[in-house]
Structure 1
Amino acid sequence: MMAFVPLNSHPNPQNVLVIGGGDGGVVREVAKHPAVKSIVMCEIDEEVVNACKEHIPSLACGFDDPRLTLHIGDGLEFLCSYPGQFDVIITDSTDPVVGDSDHQKSKDGPAMSLFNEEYYTKLHEKLTPEGILCSQGESMWLHKELIGSLLAKSRTVYPVVDYAYTCTPSYPSGQIGLIMCSKNPKTIFREPVLSWTADELKQYGLKYYNTDIHSAAFTLPTFMQEFLNTL
């Protein structure tokens, strides 16, 4: 979902940037899209990449795709130095705030720089005029206030901002959100520009994503709808 919701919201997602995603899962899925010609990835921790290649090759197989160029380093620093632009940027980061050893206090995590206004502004610069951003959007059950803050910041930079979610059994609460931003004011995230038949879904190896679940991902529980309406 983190790959195909943004990809199928763009009319022609040829050039894609993935920031984070050291397990290779997002790259693996992006590589399945027939329109994609180039994938650039920036991951801060090379040891994560190497460990995933060794221990979870079913995810890390995306690193073998010939369209991929992998950079090791900080995502924000990479954005400041990279000369090109992208049709789609996907941020698959860890949580910005982590708990300490006593499970009571919290502190900034290593991905905090990927959740501030400077980062979202720099992403805007690196997107083409119809460019789309998808960022890891936390869990509405655990991080409602943080989600609200991220959406409010995004709306100061992008004309179209929306929030979706998907089931992720391995993530706390079993659900994770997607913060969706577009530079194109005509974008309607809930209506994918590309729909695939059942045969195409099978051809591309998609076992979860389809057009109906794309649209349904933006249908939020009442408490979350009411909260977002106050922003």
Structure 2
Amino acid sequence: MPSSLIKDGWFGEDEVMWPGQKMSLKVEEVLYEGRSKFQDVLVFQSATYGRVLVLDGVIQVTEKDEMAYQEMIAHIPLFAHPKPESVLIVGGGDGGVLREVARHGCVRRITMCEIDEHVVEVSKRFLGDVTASSFNDDRLELLFEDAAKFVEGRRSVFDVVIVDSSDPVGPAESLYTSGFYAALRQSLKPGGIICTQGECQWLHLDLIAKVLGDCAMAFPTVDYAFTTIPTYPCGQIGFLICSLSAEPQMLREPKRPVSREMQAALRYYSPDVHRAAFVLPSFAERVVGPLRKNRPRLMPRDRIGYAAVALLSAACTLLLTHRG
């Protein structure tokens, strides 16, 4: 086991953004170790989490729990949109987000902009039956370039943009700037939605608040959700979600039903989980809540209709009883 991150048969993370803690996994076999133009790449077979992809010392994907991240970062924005046809994926070289986007039959074009071609090559080789299973989809245009430069000057092209980035250090640093979010806004069609990796509320509330504030200057609707995933810091990761629509509750309710076929294939996402993802613990809500731009209705539109029918029925009953 040649990796310097593996000692006595155990892999331990090496990450500056959560000092004082790290995730460790028991290693059965190192499958690949190398370096791209941008970062160190490691793949190993773990004892309990299947195959694991590590970039610059940080766990990106494990075979056991990857669906908790991939499904949520993809399906929350995709189902929040009534009919997404053009989707941009930023990053996501392991292929997991692409796999989930490809499940949506209404999507006609998928553009994927990944800066590191080597990550895609390694993922195809070692995660081909896990996450990297949809690179042959004929709707896909795969580009290897800096997404921050790619989106500049593009106007009204995408219905949904999903930013599956690593942490704001190294090759992903340019994806955490106000200029990048402003460019993403310009690239959206009317009613468009972006969803980005939103860090950990246990560790990075200050960073989350800053990015929410930056997005609030560019989008009429800004919200925050999260998912649970054992091998990410503190077992949790968040999503920053923005929309050009100013409709209240725009992002929190699925706009389309999940087919039985798709739901049977999914292992984490469901409409109920979609709604619940926006409910934060009190300590996080105190920080995030004032920065949300998504005024909730007193009652959802469908329930207002039901309530009106119920009130009318009760009034008719009272009237008939009085006449009797």
Q: Same fold (TM over 0.5)?
A: yes
Does 2:157 align with 1:85? yes
Rounded to whole Å, the distance in 1 between the matches of 2:289 and 2:154 is: 37
TM-score (norm 2): 0.65
Note the C-alpha offset of 1:198: 4.6
In the TM superposition, 1:196-211 aligns within 5 A as 196=258, 198=260, 200-202=262-264, 205-211=265-271
Question: Paired residue for 2:96?
Answer: 25
* Greater relative CO (CA pairs within 8 A, separation 6+): 1
Question: Paired residue for 1:115?
Answer: 176
- Which residue, out of 96, 121, 142, partners 2:203? 142
Number of matched pairs = 218
Does 2:241 align with 1:180? yes
Rounded to whole Å, the distance in 1 between the matches of 2:143 and 2:101 is: 17
Supply the RMSD in Å over aligned alpha carbons.
1.5
Question: Paired residue for 1:192?
Answer: 254
Note the C-alpha offset of 1:169: 2.3
Question: Paired residue for 2:302?
Answer: none
- Structure 1 runs of 4+ with >4 Å offset: 81-84, 197-200
Specify the SS of the correspondent of 2:255.
coil
The one-letter code of the counterpart of 1:210 is S
Rounded to whole Å, the distance in 2 between the matches of 1:230 and 1:164 is: 15
Q: Which runs of 5+ in 2 are unaligned?
A: 1-71, 292-324
Whether the 8 Å CA contact 2:90–2:113 is kept in 1: the answer is yes
The one-letter code of the counterpart of 2:134 is G
Give CA-to-partner distance per residue, 1:19-67, whole Å, 9 cap, x none: 0001000000000012111100000000000000001112111211111
Question: Paired residue for 2:225?
Answer: 164
The one-letter code of the counterpart of 1:31 is A
Higher alpha-carbon Rg: 2
Rounded to whole Å, the distance in 2 between the matches of 1:197 and 1:20 is: 27
Question: Paired residue for 1:94?
Answer: 166
Percentage identity across paired residues of the two chains: 46
- Which residue, out of 280, 283, 289, partners 1:229? 289
Whether the 8 Å CA contact 2:223–2:240 is kept in 1: the answer is yes
Note the C-alpha offset of 1:170: 2.7
Specify the SS of the correspondent of 1:63.
coil
Give CA-to-partner distance per residue, 1:177-202, whole Å, 9 cap, x none: 10000001115211111232555512
TM-score (norm 1): 0.90
Rounded to whole Å, the distance in 2 between the matches of 1:199 and 1:25 is: 19
Residues 81 and 52 (structure 1), Cα distance of their counterparts in 2 relative to 1, 3 Å cut: farther
Q: Which runs of 5+ in 1 are unaligned?
A: 98-108
The one-letter code of the counterpart of 1:211 is P
Specify the SS of the correspondent of 2:242.
strand
Whether the 8 Å CA contact 2:156–2:190 is kept in 1: the answer is no
Rounded to whole Å, the distance in 2 between the matches of 1:119 and 1:127 is: 13
Note the C-alpha offset of 1:225: 0.7
Residues 81 and 124 (structure 1), Cα distance of their counterparts in 2 relative to 1, 3 Å cut: closer
Question: Paired residue for 2:304?
Answer: none
Does 2:124 align with 1:53? yes
Note the C-alpha offset of 1:166: 0.6
Whether the 8 Å CA contact 2:95–2:131 is kept in 1: the answer is yes
Note the C-alpha offset of 1:82: 5.1
Residues 82 and 62 (structure 1), Cα distance of their counterparts in 2 relative to 1, 3 Å cut: farther
The one-letter code of the counterpart of 1:195 is P
Question: Paired residue for 1:102?
Answer: none
Note the C-alpha offset of 1:168: 2.0
Question: Paired residue for 2:110?
Answer: 39
Specify the SS of the correspondent of 1:176.
strand
The one-letter code of the counterpart of 1:59 is T
